[in-house]
């Protein structure tokens, strides 16, 4: 049932768990947090489903909050890696497009966790509003910077914000209803691309002026297929 792959996974900063109880706790937690919400899920429920006592959970995690944050770290770690990658690249249209694609794939891959996080934003915001609570906002601002450049105007930044958050919103909104995820991926990506193309540092005209035939019509409808 909860058998790991035959080759042991590369050891991260977490101590390697042999019995896998820690991972089983995470799996049950992400399921219940998504179904019922973080605060409505009690540690007793998690413990009962695993056949242990409440107190046993405290051997593996410092607190209930710590379980949630172990999940958060996994997800935002991917986003942070993407942002770091983007910051190391030159600011070209190709890189900006690649950021959209990679960000969408992170959202798609972490669909379950992302949905859970999105529903439980309040639980992420601790009383000490120093680091937490602004998790989404911080990342979004970094992504906006990558998509526009530092000195962009407000309308340009709004376009980038709607493009990036539109990827996740669009995916989450239609994912449960669609029977063709591939088509949805293309549609969502198409909208985001449309909002970001022509963004970035003010470029000189690339094509010699003169033959601007049918420039609007081709962009208006989603021609991703």
Contacting residues toward DNA, per CB under 7 A: 17-19, 21, 41-45, 47, 52-56, 58-60, 62-65
Q: To the nearest 10°, the Cα dihedral for 199, 103, 129, 35?
A: 140
Shortest distance in whole angstroms from residue 40 CB to DNA: 8
Which residues have C-beta within 8 Å of that of residue 181, sequence separation ≥ 6?
Answer: 108, 175
Shortest distance in whole angstroms from residue 7 CB to its own copies: 37
219 binds, among its own copies, DNA, none (CB under 5 to 8 A by kind): its own copies
**Interatomic CA distance for residues 63 and 97, integer angstroms:** 40
Nearer to its own copies, 7 or 216 (CB): 216
195 binds, among DNA, its own copies, none (CB under 5 to 8 A by kind): its own copies
Burial (CB < 10 A; 0-12, 13-18, 19+), residue 213, is exposed
Asked if 40 is part of the footprint of its own copies (rule: CB under 8 A), the reply reads: yes
**Interatomic CA distance for residues 167 and 192, integer angstroms:** 7
94 binds, among DNA, its own copies, none (CB under 5 to 8 A by kind): none
Planar angle of CA 208, 216, 191, nearest 5 degrees = 115
70 binds, among DNA, its own copies, none (CB under 5 to 8 A by kind): none
* Torsional sign, CA 34, 38, 40, 43: positive
Binding site for its own copies (CB under 8 A): 36-40, 118-123, 125, 127, 137, 140, 153-159, 161-162, 165-166, 169-170, 173-174, 178, 183-184, 186-188, 190-192, 194-195, 197-198, 212, 214-216, 219-222, 224
């Amino acid at each position: 049932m909860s058998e790991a792959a035959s080759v042991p996974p590369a050891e991260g900063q977490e101590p390697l768990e042999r019995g896998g109880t820690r991972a089983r706790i995470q799996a049950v937690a992400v399921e219940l947090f998504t179904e019922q919400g973080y605060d409505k899920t009690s540690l007793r429920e998690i413990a009962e489903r695993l056949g242990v006592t409440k107190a046993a959970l405290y051997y593996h995690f410092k607190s209930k909050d710590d379980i949630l944050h172990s999940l958060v770290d996994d997800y935002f770690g991917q986003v942070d890696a993407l942002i770091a990658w983007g910051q190391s690249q030159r600011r070209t249209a190709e890189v900006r497009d690649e950021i959209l694609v990679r960000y969408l794939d992170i959202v798609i891959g972490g669909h379950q966790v992302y949905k859970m996080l999105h529903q439980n934003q309040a639980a992420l915001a601790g009383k000490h509003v120093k680091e937490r609570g602004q998790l989404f906002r911080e990342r979004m601002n970094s992504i906006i910077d990558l998509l526009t450049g530092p000195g962009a105007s407000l309308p340009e930044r709004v376009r980038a914000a709607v493009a990036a958050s539109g990827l996740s919103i669009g995916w989450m909104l239609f994912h449960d209803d669609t029977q063709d995820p591939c088509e949805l991926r293309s549609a969502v990506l198409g909208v985001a691309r449309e909002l970001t193309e022509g963004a970035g540092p003010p470029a000189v005209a690339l094509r010699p002026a003169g033959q601007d035939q049918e420039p609007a019509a081709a962009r208006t409808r989603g021609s991703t297929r």
